[in-house]
Structure 1
Amino acid sequence: MYKLQYWERKSRRMKLYVLKMRGNRKGFHHILFTKDKG
């Protein structure tokens, strides 16, 4: 049971990490584009 909780938490953290990476990449591109315009 404890192991299952551990893996659930780990997979959730990985999902958050992936979402964050995607968001960061989008934000990075946005910053680059706004810099070019400015």
Structure 2
Amino acid sequence: MSSSCIEEVSVPDDNWYRIANELLSRADITINGSAPV
């Protein structure tokens, strides 16, 4: 994941994030590092 928009933000590698990332990816939405946790 070198070409990612996330640089200094620690991304939670949990199931919910993977599911959300998949759904948003299919919706043509890019997740930035400023996502509310």
TM-score (norm 1): 0.39
Structure with more helix by fraction: 1
Question: TM-score when scaled to structure 2?
Answer: 0.40
Q: Which structure's relative contact order is higher, taking Cα pairs within 8 Å and 6+ residues apart? A: 2
Radius of gyration: which is bigger?
1
